[in-house]
Amino acid sequence: MNQFKIKSLVNRAYQEGELNKDEITALLKADIKELDYLLQKADQKREEICAEEVHLRAIIEFSSYCKQNCHYCGLRKDNQQLERYQLEKGEIIKTAQMASELGYQTVVLQSGEDEYPAAEIAEIIKEIKKTTGMAITLSLGEKDFAFYKLWREAGADRYLLKHEVADRVLYEKYHPGMSFANRIESLKYLKTIGYQIGSGVIIDLPGQTPEILAEDLLLSQDLELDMIGSGPFIPHQQTPLKDSQRGTVEMTLKFTALSRLLLPLAHIPATTALGTIDAEGRQKALRAGANVVMPNVTDSRYREKYQIYPEKICVNEEAGDCRQCIGGIIASLGRQVSQNKGHSLR
């Protein structure tokens, strides 16, 4: 595509927040070397909407048990080489309180699709709210709708459930026994009961085309996401996709930049997966539209056992180390850590 065409598409995305599927696809297909203007306008839009503030979300990976078998993920049920763990209620609450003391304003409770008792999760939410006042995001996979409601009533603010890939056939191929329709219904239901919803994709899953990624962006607009994330696919040896090619930094950055232009009010994370395949990955995303980072606060004894993909960064660090590291990264970009909870901008 020539520069004239790129500029005219990017300008329209910047001004109107809309492009059609063919136009988005064309930008996703263009070489990143031709797309400086896209990244620059996404950064400009980020600055207009979020100023220089970066929101931090502290992740607690509290259980690695999972009943699902997603083809890409190291936590899948059939990976019998993984030693599983589950944190007790008191440990989760203490970790959240420590995160609050480190200055975090949001905690993300994440796990595989574990059978952790729903009532206990509700108690954890209430206790974290009561003792820290932090915003609480849940990232527990697909659950009974009654549980979503119970946790919302207990005080959870946000739910993070990536739709992963906006193509029903590919989705159901990589998620045996799961349905794309239920995924989308879950997201819609979560929104109706008052959660701020986050979703997003894995970039460069085998078989995923730029056309499908364009659908991902259009679907994300339809769902009116409060948060949209994209992390590159990283093959894990104990999964069916072990011999597939890993995702690229380039496609992740193009998707991040288009996310900012097409969903200007969304919170957009610079993902850990991107930081894993490129030491400067998170910095690059923060300069291409992202305004959120999600540092790990899980006790270092467990980090290695939450092996979604290999060589995940921060496995040997403690929560305080990551907080300092991220603070340094943000300052080096001339940005500041936000002092508020970073609720939805919608």
User: Where in 35-94 is the site for ligand SAM (CB under 6 A)?
Assistant: 72-73, 75
**Which one of 63-71, 86-94, 179-187, 330-338 is the stretch in contact with ligand SF4 (CB under 6 A)?**
63-71
Rounded Cα gap, residues 270 and 249, in angstroms: 11
Member of 156, 268, 288, 326 binding ligand FES (CB under 6 A): 326
- Do residues 270 and 281 touch, judged by C-beta distance below 8 A? yes
Closest to 313 measured CA to CA, from 298, 328, 296: 296
The tokens for 28 are 């996703």
Q: Which of 66, 160, 203, 262 binds ligand SF4 (CB under 6 A)?
A: 66
As a whole number of angstroms, the distance between CA 295 and CA 291 comes to: 13
Partner touching 162 among ligand SF4, ligand SAM, ligand FES, none, CB below 5 to 8 Å by kind:
ligand SAM
Any idea of the CA torsion for 226, 231, 219, 44, to the nearest 10 degrees? 60
Q: Does the footprint of ligand SAM cover residue 264 (CB under 6 A)? A: no
Q: How far apart are CA 149 and CA 23, in angstroms?
A: 39
Please, which residue, 235 or 281, has the CB nearer to ligand FES? Answer: 281
- Closest-approach residue to ligand SAM (CB): 73
Q: Is 325 in the site for ligand FES (CB under 6 A)?
A: yes
Residue 322 binds: one of ligand FES, ligand SF4, ligand SAM, none (C-beta under 5 to 8 A by kind): ligand FES
Q: Which tokens is 252 given?
A: 């992740």
Q: How far is the CB of 61 from ligand FES (least distance, A)?
A: 13
317: partner contacted, choices ligand SF4, ligand FES, ligand SAM, none (Cβ within 5-8 A by kind)? ligand FES
What is the Cα–Cα distance from 200 to 166, expressed in whole angstroms?
9
- Would you say how long the chain is, in residues? 346
Contact residues for ligand FES (CB under 6 A)?
Answer: 295, 314, 317, 321-322, 325-326
